[in-house]
Amino acid sequence: QLQLVESGGGSVQDGGNLTLSCEASKYTYSSYCMAWFRQAPGKERESVAHIAGYDLTIRTIYSDSVKGRFTISRDNAINGVQLQMNNLKPEDTAVYYCAARPMSGGTCYDVYKYWGQGTQVTVSS
């Protein structure tokens, strides 16, 4: 069973930066596709960023709302991923969740079935 633990959330001013980390309980680099989702109060959970593949086959996908501001990357030191968030806006305020699904040969399978508990990000104007 893969376990995920997020960290790095906090409160920043409009235009500030934060880096979220997702540490996994076991090796994920070539075995799992990883992603970040977020859920704001009163809203549905939405996709933020996804990463698949490894080494030269790494692919990333971003939602339009964060493209150009957020960067997802694999972090072997924590067997997980990071989310670098720059130029944060009040509308980025949400609980951010890390998720994983199995990957084989760089292809993602199944659904995101492993989830962390979330970390709060608050951006004030």
pLDDT digits (tens, 9 = 90+) for 3-24: 999 999 999 999 999 999 999 9
pLDDT digits (tens, 9 = 90+) for 35-93: 999 999 999 999 999 999 988 889 999 999 999 999 999 999 999 999 999 999 999 99
pLDDT digits (tens, 9 = 90+) for 97-110: 999 999 998 899 99
d(CA 2, CA 16): 32
pLDDT digits (tens, 9 = 90+) for 63-75: 999 999 999 999 9
d(CA 46, CA 58): 22
